[in-house]
Homo-oligomer: A and B are copies of this chain.
């Protein structure tokens, strides 16, 4: 006899539903800061599109909130459990359904790991370009949900720029296809882009067709040490003014170098007050690297020798200099973006502000995109009062980014944690449009409620 809605679901999908306390805890959150701890009432491991459809039909019938997730590597709490929800994990839907080497596309289930897709694509001389720091464990579905960025976006664009088509299960269980298997296509509204970055609030992505890019036949990497951050940021602008397009352009401040030295026993901070990492790729990689070297040396940088593999090692270090850590209420990694020309001014304002609030600050930036990840932290031992200072600093850092013509989130998404800032960026009319669009897709409000948009 069926007693509760969850019993009904468990009976329908006995192999998918877990109510084990360990699972509930483990799947209750992603990697973003948690404002409160909420446990889901169940974790559902979907294995097929039909499973997802069955879950959404059930959720619609019983008005149960559904929080979908991939690896849970998100940094904004977009996959945190909310009151009364079930977690719908897509991890087990991890089959690469096809790679089409001549079409330069791949069709994947949402649970495919970003790095696994790249490994498979590489066998055909292809790559999936978006490479968030979490690429070794984050899923393509999660990347789509947050419109994830990464290091190579400087040249190759963000997730949205690589997504051609989606299959999506709507709130009521209906399966739709959006987009096209071709590089170009303009039939109807761009629902693919609308879904990308919507953080599971408009539907559940169950299949993704992506465009692959050519694996570069040559790659050159430079590491340029500068005396201080303003000079390194001037290097970013100078590379731009030389009109050379790096595939990766990462900027690390002195405190980040100190932190890396602390972890890895390196001597980076001794060698400079700021580090610029530059990678070029493709047929022009060598000439581009040489042009960039000339520009940076002219600005007084100490640039690694051609042929040295130190710069490559530093890029790997940079990739993992943040993503491994879980933020909490004492340490928060931010994710704003400003127009490139404002990088120096913004960081200067940020440093003054952090000092005023007695908050620690270190900064890395996807400088080619003007996308900054300042990390603010306070001593855990200081307790609640320090948290307040941290929050004031965070608020002010976001306000400053907006004052400089920027955005509250460059690539991590709004999730739950950044909701408090969204109305600073978007007008009431835009907030209202988003609510009404969500109502079109999710009239009962069961798809990841309280995330991504201000209700």
Contacts and interface: CB of A to CB of B under 8 A. Distances in A.
Copies in the complex: 2
Interface stretch (A30-38, A46-54, A176-184): A176-184
Contact of A217 (B177, B243, B425, B437): B243
A287 to B, nearest CB: 4
9 contacts: A102-B237, A160-B193, A182-B337, A183-B337, A183-B371, A188-B431, A189-B198, A190-B196, A245-B282
Interface of A: 100-105, 125-126, 146-147, 149, 153, 157-158, 160-161, 170, 174, 176-178, 180-191, 193-194, 196-198, 202, 213-215, 217, 237, 240-241, 243-245, 282-285, 287-288, 291, 337-341, 366, 368-371, 405-414, 418, 422, 425-427, 429-431, 433-434, 436-437, 440-441, 452-453
Nearest to A237: B102
A189 B183 contact: no
B102 A341 contact: yes
A212 to B, nearest CB: 10
Given A103-B340, A214-B245, A337-B183, A170 B414 contact: no
Contacts of A194: 189-190, 193-194
B186 A413 contact: yes
B410 A176 contact: no
Contacts of A217: 243
Nearest to A236: B102
A285 B411 CA distance: 32
B341 A100 contact: yes
A11 to B, nearest CB: 28
Contacts of A103: 339-341, 370
B430 A440 contact: no
Contacts of A102: 237, 240-241, 339-341
Given A217-B243, A237-B102, A241-B101, A185 B410 contact: yes
